[in-house]
Amino acid sequence: MVSYPNAPTVVLACGALAISFAPVFAAFALKPEYGGFGPAAIGFYRVFFALPFLWLVLLATPVKSNKTARTRRPTGLLALAGFFFAVDLVSWHWSIKYTTVANATLLANFAPLWVTLWAGRLFGERITLRFFVALGLAFVGAAVLMGASFQIGTRQLFGDGLSLITAIAYGSYMLTVKKLRETCPPQEIMAWSGLFAAPMMFVVALASSETIVTPQLNGWLVLLGLALVSHFAGQGLIAYAFGHLPASLTSLNLLLQPVFAAVLAWVLLGQALGSHQLLGAAIVLGALFLANRPEKSK
């Protein structure tokens, strides 16, 4: 029987919950009464404010790498992870500006498909028919969860394109993290990739003439919450899980994010959960249950 550790799956679910707060924090940070920060500036502060905590963790804990597979720090791969994450954040925040939140969320969650297409080639993962069925069901559930908010048309075509770029960039980030986890602990990946990602987003924010500084304290508190909850905790837990679970399964389980986001919108923003949202959430959870069931050997 093939089974996966329970602890990493629980850690991954906690990470998905933590990053589900990101749209809420970002939505507040975009508002003028919270500073009116630009999309790239939000991404920059998300990583920049988390960096001191990430480096404290890295310096406080010994780096236990696989010495047989590593002779030096894989700086190139760490920089590549930072690049993909910077593209992911900037394109997703910009997509919200040019398309609906539903479109941006749903299309960005196509990242598991990108990961699955490459997981077999890069890591030799065996992708079963049952997994593809679960993947398809999860996408159907996510679409139902978005409900009537999802729109198809030429008006938001640019924003939809940015959302798809987000999916590819985040999927590529996850594949890079999976590769790095063969020789690097999660705290090293998070600290170094963030160090590469932050300057990229800062340059984009400057080039876009975005609001970078505000006198409003509540705006800074929102960005600090985004950094600590969604990046430091959320992405850190996800990086840990990538070292213990297959890349395809890990990325698919991150489709818990839109389910958690719908619940958070209900609890924090008072947005009622309709019947279509409950149905979509049930389909997503059923698909993830199907994908995570251990296979019985013949």
Rounded to whole angstroms, how far apart are CA atoms 237 and 57? 13
**CA 298 – CA 284 distance, rounded (Å):** 28
Burial 8-43 (b: 16+ CB within 10 A, else e): bbebbbebbbbbbbbbbbbbbbbeeebbebbbbbbb
d(CA 231, CA 233): 6
Going by C-alpha positions, the residue among 77, 108, 79 that lies closest to residue 92 is 108
What is the structure's pLDDT at 110?
87
pLDDT per residue rounded down to tens, the chain (298 residues): 344 447 888 999 999 999 888 878 888 888 899 999 988 899 999 999 999 999 999 999 876 655 455 678 899 999 999 999 999 988 887 887 777 666 777 788 889 989 998 998 888 888 888 989 999 998 888 888 766 555 555 556 788 888 889 999 999 999 999 999 988 999 999 999 999 999 999 999 999 888 898 899 999 999 999 999 999 999 999 999 998 889 998 898 888 887 887 787 777 766 667 777 788 889 988 998 888 877 665 4
Torsion of CA 151, 154, 155, 158, to 10 degrees: 100
pLDDT in tens, 234-272: 999 999 999 888 999 889 888 888 788 778 777 776 666
Question: Three-state DSSP class for 295?
Answer: strand
What is the token pair recorded at 255?
């489709």
Between CA 75 and CA 54 the distance in angstroms is 17
- pTM of the predicted protein model: 0.86
**Predicted pLDDT of residue 153:** 57
113 phi/psi in degrees, rounded to 5: -65, -45
The domain ranges of the chain are: 6-60+72-292
**What three-state secondary structure class fits 2?**
strand
Q: pLDDT per residue over 178-221, tens digit each?
A: 999 988 999 999 999 999 999 999 999 999 888 898 899 999 99
